[in-house]
Structures are given as structure tokens and as C-alpha cells.
Amino acid sequence: MTTTMDEPVDLPLPLDRPEPSPRCGVCAALARQRAEAEAEGDYSKVSDCNIEIREHRSPHRGRRSS
């Protein structure tokens, strides 16, 4: 029987909270859903919304603001 402990787990820092792209209806809707989930204490949904915003924003990169 072994009585030694495993090595400690090294977890990365959480990602920054993504900001929705301005003037994008999809980003705005996701940001509203995230705010509602946060107000309800549903942090799993907050995390899901953050992922969706982060992934949706990628097409916005490289576009010029008008």
C-alpha cells in the first residue's frame, strides 16, 4: 500500500471575460443571456455564454468599424 500523495495539479488561470462586438445583434443577445444567467446565479450558463461570445467574435476580427 502506497502512502505518498500525487503531484499537485497545475490549473491554468481562467480566461478573461469576452466583450461582445459592438453593433452585432448576436453578440448583444449573448451578452443579455449572460447577464440574466449571472443575476440568477447560473454560472454554468454564464460560462456557456462566454464561450459562445468568444467563438462568435472571431468573424468580427479584422473587420473595420464604420
- Look at residue 22 in the predicted model and tell me its pLDDT: 85
The answer to whether 57 and 27 are in contact (CB under 8 A) is: yes
- Look at residue 62 in the predicted model and tell me its pLDDT: 57
Residues 6+ apart with CB under 8 A from 20: 27, 28, 30, 31, 53, 57
The answer to whether 18 and 50 are in contact (CB under 8 A) is: yes
- Look at residue 31 in the predicted model and tell me its pLDDT: 96
The tens place of each residue's pLDDT in the chain, 66 residues long, gives 667 888 999 989 888 999 998 889 999 999 999 999 999 999 999 999 999 999 887 667 655 444
- Look at residue 39 in the predicted model and tell me its pLDDT: 98
- Look at residue 3 in the predicted model and tell me its pLDDT: 78
Other CB atoms closer than 10 Å to residue 15's CB: what's the count?
A: 10
